[in-house]
Amino acid sequence: MNRRDRNVCNGCRVSFERVPHAPMLFDATWLKLAQKRELLCPDCLFARAARCGIRNTLADLRPCPFNRFGEPLSWFELFAGGERPEVIEAWLKWLHGQEAAR
């Protein structure tokens, strides 16, 4: 992947200056939808998930600051909506554990 490819969605070729990056998922989930080094916008990621019959949940979302960026309109908030409280608590605990390890 060259430098130019890092600035666009590899699915639709739209610049990341115009669309956001897709949420960061665990590798096991990401690799069901994309190549390891592929970069996707949300529309391309969710379209692929729909085509593959994959429903992404909070358990697929990598606990990292990127997925909390822009709260209250973050990926975390989107995926946490309707999730069981114990799953949300575990995700946040894992996130804070990773932040403390830095």
pTM above 0.85, yes or no: no
Contact in structure between 9 and 44 (CB atoms under 8 Å):
yes
Domain count, the chain: 2
Confidence of residue 97 (pLDDT cuts 50, 70, 90): confident
* Cα 98 to Cα 44: distance, rounded to the nearest angstrom: 28
pLDDT tens digit string along 43-83? 999 999 999 999 999 999 999 999 999 988 999 999 999 89
More reliable by pLDDT, 93 or 5 = 93
45/9 same-domain check:
yes
The pLDDT score that the predictor gives to residue 6 is: 78
Domain span at 62:
57-102
64/51 same-domain check:
no
6/46 same-domain check:
yes
24/51 same-domain check:
yes
6/42 same-domain check:
yes
Confidence of residue 96 (pLDDT cuts 50, 70, 90): confident
Q: How many residues does the chain have?
A: 102
